[in-house]
Amino acid sequence: MSEPPSDFTASEREMWRAFRAGEVHDLRTGVPELDNPGTSRIWGPERTVRASAVARLLLDGPPADSGRVCCLKLSGARISGQLNLSGGTVAPYIELHNCQFEQQVLMPECSFTTLRMVRCAIPRIEAARLSTEGDLHLPQCTVPGGIRLTDAHIGTDLLLNQLVVSADRHGRAIAADGLSVAQDVEAELVKATGEVSLRSARIGGRLSLRGSALRNTTGRYALNAARITIEHTLYLSSGWVSGTLSGTGTPPGGVRTRHFTCDGGVRLDDGRFGNALVVDRARFQLTTSQELSLRRIQTPELRFTPERPPTGRIVLAGAKIGNLVTEAACWPGAGLIDLSGFAYESLRPTGPFPLPARLAWLSAATPEYSPEPYEQLATALRADGMDEDAREVLLAKQRRRRETLPLAARLWGYAQDITVAYGYRPGRAAWWMAVLWAIGSVVFALNPPPELKQGEGPNWNPALYALDLLLPVIDLGQDSAWRPSGWEQWAATLLVLLGWILATTVAAGASRLLRRS
């Protein structure tokens, strides 16, 4: 059929001819206010095409003119009625600009080559199990009733930049569980009110949410992407916009930078990120019942440098990271961090993160004592060649552990801490030995005890006598040759006890170090 059907309107007949010629059917007035599909203004019949006419072109359209390729290119059109392409196969390329849809668009289980809708106003998009060979583009569109892309398959890229979308009756702005995208998902500068659900989605390239604003004040999550797999990088960072241009990275002069903002919980549990997870200059506004949940994620690098600490809880339990890039000012206070089972290979500060701040970070993460975060930090510091800092972390771990022990064990812990710092400062043992030896030598030099058996003992040497009292097990022949009495006997007994305590704490510290190595 080369001529349009007789029931087609004038606008539809022109659309028919443009379709066959592969040309744009442009119904715009040239006045920006009148061409904005998001206004409440209803466009007249001269700019209106019926959804049934559009579906007829796409599903059973005429052949192309000689030397042309059929495609639907509409600009500034009002599409009346409901566009229903459910289960169909659409071969022509589709590109719609500044179009105003009267009702929701139905495309479940529909197959396309490439579908591009730019700056369109659409009440709702229903596209579960949709598939495309090429791109799916929805940039700068307004979709107040939400988008459903559950189990959809996109052959190349999914572009959602500057999309404005609100929640459906289930509270979801974008429902895309099981979504599969062969290459990148660009969702920058998006404004979403309601949950963005990407559970079990698979993305072959990167997922960029730079500069986007996610808000869900009535549900638990603003972003729910549990079990997501991203072959490259997930970006929750800032973007920029200037007029009709937008971008990422370093903005040109005179443009506005937009932070990634999230008013609601974030769930990335069991996510896999092939290159990195980047949380940079982001803002998270969480309630007491909401979390930034990164349980059991795996990625070579986690860059966690939000503009300010999230107001809620951060959970990294069971996560496995290569490089952790962060700084002290990025984390919330005590009781709002969960690092149980969190493993990372190295810690790369982007700003001031001295050892005391790192220890305070661990203390905030463990309101109830847990050894794992301390041991993990010590392992990372050793890997970076910072053995002294690693020993300080392990010493802090023992001091935290001491707080949980019974009184007698705490007293023994204090003794180990004072003498040899639980074995992590072994030089203290020699210092204590030297001090006690010097004190004992002076005391017994001024007050020598009598011989046990007159004329049978060795020559009197107060230094050797004090040393013999201090050293357990080893016998220098002095201790048994003299008989102190009175307060001198108490002094000798005290040296013996202190010698045993010192030796025992040294042995306990040494065994602890041997177990760690």
pLDDT digits (tens, 9 = 90+) for 430-487: 677 777 778 877 877 777 777 767 666 677 777 777 777 777 767 666 666 666 777 7
The C-alpha atoms of residue 375 and residue 396 are separated, in whole angstroms, by 10
Give 456's contacts (C-beta < 8 A, 6+ positions apart): 481
Side-chain half-sphere of 101: how many Cα atoms within 13 Å?
Answer: 26
The C-alpha atoms of residue 411 and residue 4 are separated, in whole angstroms, by 96
Name beta bridge partners: 257.
240
Q: Are 166 and 193 in contact (CB under 8 A)?
A: yes
Backbone phi and psi for residue 256, each to the nearest 5 degrees, phi listed first:
-90, 135
Q: Is the pTM of this model over 0.85?
A: no
Closest by Cα among 495, 509, 492, 493 to 419: 509
Helix (H) / strand (E) element for 42: namely: none
pLDDT digits (tens, 9 = 90+) for 55-65: 999 999 999 99
Which pLDDT score, from 0 to 100, does residue 390 have? 84
Which pLDDT score, from 0 to 100, does residue 480 have? 65
Pairing between strand 291-293 and 265-267?
A: parallel
The C-alpha atoms of residue 481 and residue 475 are separated, in whole angstroms, by 11
Q: Are 427 and 420 in contact (CB under 8 A)?
A: no
Question: What three-state secondary structure class fits 402?
Answer: helix
Most confident of 109-123, 329-343, 410-424: 109-123
Question: What three-state secondary structure class fits 157?
Answer: coil
Measured over the CA atoms of residue 507, residue 508, residue 509 and residue 515, the dihedral's sign is positive
Give 7's contacts (C-beta < 8 A, 6+ positions apart): none
Q: Is the pLDDT of residue 210 over 90?
A: yes
Other residues' Cβ atoms within 10 Å of the Cβ of residue 34? 13
pLDDT digits (tens, 9 = 90+) for 378-402: 888 888 788 888 888 888 888 888 8
172-176, 333-337, 435-439: segment of lowest average pLDDT: 435-439
The C-alpha atoms of residue 33 and residue 140 are separated, in whole angstroms, by 16
Other residues' Cβ atoms within 10 Å of the Cβ of residue 287? 13
User: Angle CA(465)–CA(470)–CA(476) in degrees, nearest 5?
Assistant: 45
133-136 long-range Cβ contacts below 8 angstroms, 24+ apart:
135/159, 136/112
Question: What three-state secondary structure class fits 335?
Answer: coil
Q: Which residue reads 């042995």 in tokens?
A: 507
Give me the helices (H) in 282-386, please.
355-365, 371-383
